[in-house]
Amino acid sequence: MRVFKALFAPIERLYRRYERPFSSISLIGGFVFDALTLRRVDALWENVWVGFHLLVVAVAIILLNIDEDKKEEGEEMPATHFWLVNILQFFFGGLLSTFIVFYFRSATLSATWPFLLILALAFLANERLKRHYERLAFQVALFFLSLFSFAIFSVPILFHRIGATVFVGSGLISLLIMGVFFFVLKQVSPVDYRKERKFLVGIVLGIFAAVNIMYFTNLIPPLPLALKGGGVYHTLLRNGANYEVTYEEYGWKGFFKIYDDVHLLPNDSVYAYSAVFSPSKLDIGIVHEWQHYNEASKTWETKARIDLPVIGGREGGFRTYSNRYGLESGRWRVNVETSRGQIIGRLLFNVVPVTELPPLTKDTLA
């Protein structure tokens, strides 16, 4: 132990002195690294990465609370305590950063921002509330949130199914793992566990209930699905493996437009194109829900719901489309959603009736 202290004491002093800049660099660098390197939610490496982080977090929590029990019994706190706290913070940061990247890619902010906000707040709390890592309740709350967030998309990938039944199964698996974790914690750290048992169980059940409420009110992004591409076009024609389309080009000004103007002659058609990513062997049905905004009632009115297939595995998403004729003027949106109403993505446009079409740009969607 003395050798350990002598070896790591200079490093610990240096880290304590520059802890804030080190922590900030690690926070930003880790998030950027995840955003650039995490590719597919169903890739083996990505899931091993998350699973390894969860394992390290579980072990670190247990070791930390063994130290806390020693403190309760009057023994000296081991030198490893400082490093365990920092390891826990680092690996929680990696987990939450990964979840933010994955869920954000699958999110429609207007529909699922509450769950993303919870992940973002947990991510910031991990950075700003380091002193709370001394508290078992704080550790357990972040651990179960991370565990449940992982199960939400890993269980559908494993069983090649999505839906309410699979989601409920994901939650039950998360609770089962937490039960095993609590059992181990009780054996190795009986003092802390006995003191906070009811509170810890309440925290886990509270998070479990909150996430279930958000799922069944469609506030959770529909991972492992994601909208990889989409658009609204005047014409769409399949040419072999590609799609030939025409659309109105707005240049850099189009970046600032929420609703792209689509100028239409009477009874012209409009095509809604979507490329939905689904993991390999996860074949599903999706819906294109065409909605028009009623200015008088200030509500969105559903004009059509078109069922479409998605075959899993394609990197760029499975491509499909729907079309409608003679659309009313005004704002429109096409919700690309699962059969139970989870929003995968939205296509927004504004119909403007004209007697002569503007110039159209041709493109090929590969």
Q: Give residue 72's Cα distance to chain centre.
A: 39
Q: Tell me, what amino acid is at 114?
A: P
**Does 221 reside within a domain?**
no
Q: What average pLDDT score do residues 272-298 get?
A: 95
Sequence-ordered list of residues with C-beta below 8 angstroms from that of 87, at least 6 positions apart, any chain: 56, 60
Task: Examine the domain organization and report whether 136 and 176 are in the same domain.
Answer: yes
pLDDT at 207: 96
- Higher per-residue confidence, 126 vs 3: 126
Mean pLDDT of the chain: 85
Task: Examine the domain organization and report whether 175 and 266 are in the same domain.
Answer: no
Sequence-ordered list of residues with C-beta below 8 angstroms from that of 339, at least 6 positions apart, any chain: 163, 284, 285, 286, 287, 307
pLDDT at 6: 52
> What is the share, in percent, of the chain residues with pLDDT greater than 70?
84
> How far is it, in rounded angstroms, from Cα 145 to Cα 141?
6
- List pLDDT tens digits, range 181-233: 999 998 888 877 888 889 999 999 999 999 999 999 999 999 999 999 999 99
**Does 145 reside within a domain?**
yes
pLDDT at 250: 82
Q: Tell me, what amino acid is at 354?
A: V
Reply yes or no on whether the pLDDT at 41 is more than 50.
Answer: yes
> How far is it, in rounded angstroms, from Cα 34 to Cα 311?
27
Which residue, 189, 216, 243, sits at the end of a domain? 216
Q: Give residue 167's Cα distance to chain centre.
A: 15
Most confident option among 3-17, 24-38, 350-364: 350-364
Q: How confident is the model at residue 108 (pLDDT cuts 50, 70, 90)?
A: confident
**Does 189 reside within a domain?**
yes
Task: Examine the domain organization and report whether 196 and 254 are in the same domain.
Answer: no
Tell me the backbone φ, ψ of residue 233, rounded to 5 degrees: -130, 155
CATH code of the domain covering residue 309: 2.60.40.10
**Does 263 reside within a domain?**
yes
Which residue, 216, 250, 274, sits at the end of a domain? 216
Task: Examine the domain organization and report whether 147 and 78 are in the same domain.
Answer: yes
Reply yes or no on whether the pLDDT at 306 is more than 90.
Answer: yes
pLDDT at 30: 59
**Does 85 reside within a domain?**
yes
**Does 40 reside within a domain?**
yes
Q: What average pLDDT score do residues 259-281 get?
A: 94
**Does 266 reside within a domain?**
yes
pLDDT at 1: 46
Task: Examine the domain organization and report whether 234 and 127 are in the same domain.
Answer: no
**Does 22 reside within a domain?**
yes
Asked if residue 325 lies in contact with residue 268, where contact means CB atoms within 8 angstroms, the answer is yes
- Higher per-residue confidence, 361 vs 111: 361
Task: Examine the domain organization and report whether 188 and 289 are in the same domain.
Answer: no
Task: Examine the domain organization and report whether 270 and 190 are in the same domain.
Answer: no
Task: Examine the domain organization and report whether 202 and 245 are in the same domain.
Answer: no
Helix, strand, coil percentages for the chain (3-state, nearest 5): 55, 25, 20
Task: Examine the domain organization and report whether 209 and 243 are in the same domain.
Answer: no
- Higher per-residue confidence, 105 vs 58: 58
- The closest alpha carbon to 149, from 193, 207, 63, belongs to 207
Range of the domain at 236: 226-365
Asked if residue 357 lies in contact with residue 263, where contact means CB atoms within 8 angstroms, the answer is yes
Task: Examine the domain organization and report whether 208 and 63 are in the same domain.
Answer: yes
pLDDT at 65: 82
Task: Examine the domain organization and report whether 319 and 203 are in the same domain.
Answer: no
N residues, the chain: 366
Which residue, 216, 241, 259, sits at the end of a domain? 216
Task: Examine the domain organization and report whether 169 and 49 are in the same domain.
Answer: yes
Asked if residue 358 lies in contact with residue 269, where contact means CB atoms within 8 angstroms, the answer is no
Count the domains in the chain: 2
